[in-house]
Amino acid sequence: MDPTDEQRPILASQVLERVGRDPARCYQCGKCTAGCPMSAEMPIKVGQIMRLVQLDRRERIFRDSSIWLCLTCETCSARCPMDCEPATVLDALREMVVQRDPALLPVRIRAMHQAFLAQIRKNGRVFEMGLVMGYKVRSGALMDDMTTAPGLYARGKLALTPRKLRGIADVQRIFNACGAQVGSGVADSLRYLGSRR
């Protein structure tokens, strides 16, 4: 082992190990924050997150909603002079939360990912009506957007019944083999919501 490894903040090393990008290279030029479309809404901006990773301040990052507001638009990565790929670093941070402390996920985000993955696991493809329903139930945001659903239907844009894959068992096996956690069933989510109320 390289003895200098132990002197590095652990979070930065973990990120490096996960995604092969080294947050230690960041020299805080702020180009990522300046170009980030979500900066205005993020309590902790992407450049600050890079700094907090260097400082090993995982609590501040993980207890904040900022990493979940990232659109993965990759503008930061495209412009980073040091090739740190902040978007990839954020991928790693989100994955760490999902795997280690899913309770820290913001409810709506968690609900959306759950609904989405549940759809794929169940049908192999995303069936949007089911997705919207699943999301609403999971997030508790029951009435938002419902008004537009008939609009979609009228334009032939919503299929109301799912179409299943022949190879659905194949897809389900991939889910199991990957140990995917978030895509749990509706009942599970309701329990989760119930416990929060």
Partner 1 sequence: MNIGYYPGCSVHATAREYEESLKAVASVLDLGLDEIPDWSCCGASSAHATNHLLGVALPARNLALAEAEEMTRVLAPCAACYGRLSNARFELGRDQALAREVGVVLRRPFRNSVQVVNVVEILQELLPRISQRTVRPLAGLKVASYYGCLLVRPSKVTGFDDPEAPTSMEQVVDATGAVSLQWNKRTTCCGAGLSLSRLGSVVRLGHAILNDARASGARAVVVACPMCHSNLDFRQAAINRSRQHGAPGRAGELPILYITQLVGLALGIAPSKLGLQRHFVSTRPLLERLLEQQGMEVA
Partner 2 sequence: MARIGVFVCHCGENIARTVDCARVAEALADHPGVEFSTDYKYMCSDPGQSLIKQSMKEHRLDGVVVASCSPHMHEKTFRKAVSAAGLNPFKCEMTNIREHCSWIHEDRAAATEKSTDLVRATVERVKYNQALSPITIPITPRALVIGGGIAGIQAALDIADAGREVVLVEKEPSIGGHMSQLSETFPTMDCSQCILTPRMVDVAQHPRITLHSFSEVDAVDGYIGNFDITIRKKARRVDEDLCNSCGACMQACPTRKIPSEFDAGLGTRTSIYVPFPQAVPNVPVIDEPNCLYLKSLARRRKSKKPARSRKPVCQRCVKACGPKAIDFQQEDRLVTEKVGAIVVATGYRLYDIGREQDEPGISGYGEYGYGKVPDVIDGLQFERLMSASGPTGGELRRPSDGKVPRHVVFLQCIGSRDPAKGMEYCSGICCMYTAKHVLLFKHKVHNGRATVFYMDIRAAGKGYDPFTRQAMEEPGVQYLRGRASELYRDGDVVRVLGVDTLSQEAVDIKADLVVLATAIRPQKGIQDLTRKLSVSVDHHGFMNEAHPKLRPVETATAGVFLAGACQAPRDIPDTVAMASAASSKVLALLSRDELEREPQVALVDTANCSGCFHCERACHYGAIEHEEIKDGQGRLIRVVARVNPGVCQGCGSCVAACLSNCIELQGYTDDQIFASIQAI
Summarize as ranges the residues that interact with partner 2 (CB under 8 A): 27-35, 39-40, 45, 47-48, 75, 78-83
For residue 26, the minimal CB distance to partner 2 (Å) is 11
Q: Under a CB-based contact definition with an 8 Å cutoff, are residues 46 and 76 in contact? A: yes
The correct pick among 71, 146, 169, 190 for binding partner 1 (CB under 8 A) is 71
Q: Under a CB-based contact definition with an 8 Å cutoff, are residues 93 and 61 in contact? A: yes
Q: Is residue 85 near partner 1 by the rule CB under 8 A?
A: yes
Interface residues for partner 1 in 131-190 (CB under 8 A)? 132, 135, 139, 144-145, 148, 151-152, 155-159, 163, 165-167, 170-171, 173-175, 177-182
Q: Is residue 26 near partner 1 by the rule CB under 8 A?
A: no
> In this structure, which long-range contacts are made by residues 98-106, counting pairs with CB atoms below 8 Å and at least 24 apart in sequence?
98/181, 98/182, 99/181, 101/62, 102/181, 102/182, 104/62, 104/63, 105/68, 106/65, 106/68
128 binds, among partner 2, partner 1, none (CB under 5 to 8 A by kind): partner 1
Give 31 or 138: the residue with its C-beta nearer to partner 2: 31
- Dihedral angle, C-alpha 176, 17, 42, 47, nearest 10 °: -160
Residue 4 tokens read as 């200098």
Q: Under a CB-based contact definition with an 8 Å cutoff, are residues 183 and 118 in contact? A: yes
The correct pick among 10, 29, 55, 78 for binding partner 1 (CB under 8 A) is 78
Q: Under a CB-based contact definition with an 8 Å cutoff, are residues 98 and 182 in contact? A: yes
Give 14 or 75: the residue with its C-beta nearer to partner 2: 75
d(CA 91, CA 85): 10
Q: Under a CB-based contact definition with an 8 Å cutoff, are residues 25 and 82 in contact? A: yes
What DSSP character marks residue 144? T
For residue 12, the minimal CB distance to partner 2 (Å) is 18
Question: What is the contact surface with partner 1 in residues (CB under 8 A)?
Answer: 18-20, 37-38, 40-41, 69-75, 77-78, 85, 87, 91, 94-95, 98-99, 108-109, 111-113, 116-117, 119-120, 124-128, 132, 135, 139, 144-145, 148, 151-152, 155-159, 163, 165-167, 170-171, 173-175, 177-182
